[in-house]
Amino acid sequence: MSVSSLLPVLPVVVGVLVAVVGVAGLTGRLPRNRFAGVRTAASMRDDEAFRVANRVAGLPMTVAGLVAVLAGVAAFALSGTAATVTVVLIGLVGLAVITLGAGVLGHRAALAAPEPKRPLPAGCKGCACGGCG
């Protein structure tokens, strides 16, 4: 096995993983977790902010994954090592840039999501203990 035949596997595998996370976020099926999706302070503050952030970032993440998969498939078709490495690198850089943009969009969406209402402290009847603000 040569580099030209093994290297294209990398963008395909990474692209499929990113696309799966993107689709899960887009459909709202990605639960809040510490490993996948948009995970910023704003998106992790509650389940709704996480869902909003990943729903907004879902489409660009899916596209990023598809870019990497297409680069990997194209690299399989090439015969030269230099061409294969070039196409794989372009696909991985495209994946990284688009995913970063998706994360920024998701973070901004989480910032715009309304903050959850905090429950009043025990024994509080409203404004007297600061519960009105």
The Cα-based distances of 37 to 25, 60, 89, 96 in angstroms read: 7, 12, 23, 14
Cβ-contact 66, 20 below 8 angstroms: no
CB atoms within 10 A of CB 25: 28
CA 26 from centroid of its chain's CA atoms = 10
The per-residue pLDDT for range 63-91, each reduced to its tens digit, is: 999 999 999 999 999 888 899 999 999 99
User: Which amino acid is it at 58?
Assistant: G
State residue 69's pLDDT score: 98
Rounded distance between C-alpha atoms, residue 98 and residue 89, angstroms: 14
* pLDDT reading at 123 higher than 70: no
Rounded distance between C-alpha atoms, residue 18 and residue 14, angstroms: 6
The Cα-based distances of 11 to 48, 68, 96, 128 in angstroms read: 31, 5, 11, 59
Domain segments of the chain as ranges: 3-129
State residue 52's pLDDT score: 95
The per-residue pLDDT for range 36-51, each reduced to its tens digit, is: 999 999 999 999 999 9
The per-residue pLDDT for range 3-33, each reduced to its tens digit, is: 677 899 999 999 999 999 999 999 999 999 9
State residue 118's pLDDT score: 73
CA 45 from centroid of its chain's CA atoms = 17
